[in-house]
Amino acid sequence: MRIDIITVLPEILESPFKHSILKRAQEKGLAEIFIHNLRDFSEDKHKRVDDYSFGKGAGMVMAIQPIEKAIEFLKSQRDYDEIIFTTPDGKLFDQKEANLLSLKKNIIILCGHYKGIDQRIRESMISKEISVGDYVLTGGELAAAIISDAVIRLIPGVLSDETSALTDSFQDYLLSPPVYTRPSEYKGMKVPEVLLSGNDKHVDEWNHEKALERTKKLRPDLYKKYKGESD
């Protein structure tokens, strides 16, 4: 998988992709991540990438020219399955969307900034608009990193234990059950006996029961989805 990220602040994205699972995914050749500075595509003599909005809206808007040039440049090199714009008013990112994106080959992520991008770009070049939550960030770089992390870890071979991603929270609308490690008793606090029994069937049943309990209590919205109920 190849992910090209277009950003006004490439420095913000230097660290997330140089460590842990994302670093190993690139070293294994399972993922390629390229960061592109939007200012490199600006035809303005001062390399500006924003301008005032028409009408009465306050704040600056990302200009149409550098974005169009950046995307067209990348598209001239290869075909892209998705061109994603990170924006607070996009579709809420979830595990289902991460699963779908993990099946793609080439993706562009355009990081939003200021008051957003010229609407003509959204209508003519963007295939998917994504929000990572109902809040506003300074820019879309952190959102791009979140999307990339959630997607890349699902690629076969990225995780050392390939079953791990399949048992993560949200894969089936259930939160993960409680987890424990050694020692089996610590300051009077004990690991549930069933987890020490060695009986896989009983352990699986306990895990499912606790996943249901935690989801119903902590995320009733997810529990409704699991039960097939509408909001």
The residue count for the chain? 231
Q: What is the pLDDT of residue 231?
A: 52
- Each residue's pLDDT tens digit, 127-163: 999 999 999 999 999 999 999 999 999 999 999 765 5
Question: For the chain, what is the mean pLDDT?
Answer: 93
Q: Which CATH superfamily, name and number, covers 2-152?
A: SPOUT methyltransferase, trefoil knot domain (3.40.1280.10)
| CB 108, CB 71: distance < 8 Å | yes
- The boundaries of every CATH 3.40.1280.10 domain in the chain are 2-152
Q: Which of 77, 80, 150, 153 is nearest to 110 (CA)?
A: 80
Q: What pLDDT was estimated at residue 164?
A: 65
Task: Tell me where in the chain the CATH 1.10.1270.20 domain(s) lie.
Answer: 169-227
Which overall architecture, per CATH, does domain 169-227 show? Answer: Orthogonal Bundle (1.10)
